Each structure stands twice: as C-alpha cells, then as structure tokens.
Amino acid sequence: PGPGQSQSRAARLPLARVKALVKADPDVTVASQEAVFVLARAAELFVETISKDAYVYAQQGKRKTLQRKDLDNAIEAIDEFAFLE
C-alpha cells in the first residue's frame, strides 16, 4: 500500500476469499496476511491489465461491453498472456 493507505483499503478483492483460495492448495500449509494481500493485489492488477487490453478489442467492434472473444483476442495478441492459451 502507498503512503496513508491501509492494507484493507488498498485491496479490492475480499482478503478472506483470497486466503480461502490459497489454503485450498494442498501444498500450502500457512499463508501470512502479507502474502494473502500481495496475492490479492497481483490478481487485481492482472484483471485490470487483461480487461484494459480486451476493451481495446471491444471498442474495435464498436461495443462498450467486454465479450469472451475480446479476452481471447487479448490473450492471443499479447505475449505476456501466452500462459493462458
């Protein structure tokens, strides 16, 4: 979090839900609150990035609503998303 921001205010995803997902992994025994926070922020940044990139494709189709094909186009076009193919 930046100056003046608390961890709970800086994260938009529910930390309890993120922690439950982390603990669902059989290889994870303990997850610190800081680790859960960092994972939540990383997930938020990932969703923000892929949705902004997909929105470009929605705009090309003269739409304001993202569709699955927009995400597919972003995944196909952007090297950083190759792991999703």
9 domain-assigned: no
Is 39 part of a structural domain of the chain?
A: yes
Number of H-type helices and E-type strands within the chain: 4, 0
Query: What is the model's pLDDT at position 8?
Result: 46
CATH number at residue 70: 1.10.20.10
Within-domain flag for 43: yes
Q: Each residue of 28-59: pLDDT tens digit?
A: 999 999 999 999 999 999 999 999 999 999 99
Structural domain count, the chain: 1
The token pair at 62 is: 């003269």
Secondary-structure percent of the chain, ordered helix, strand, coil, rounded to 5: 65, 0, 35
User: Does residue 10 lie within any of the structural domains?
Assistant: no
Residue 1 lies in a domain: no
Inside any domain, residue 22: yes
The answer as to whether 54 is a domain residue is yes
And the tokens for 53? 């990139």
Find out whether 70 and 54 touch, Cβ atoms under 8 Å.
Answer: yes
Task: Flag whether pLDDT at 2 surpasses 80.
Answer: no
Q: For residue 74, which amino acid is it?
A: A
* Structural domain boundaries enclosing 61: 15-84
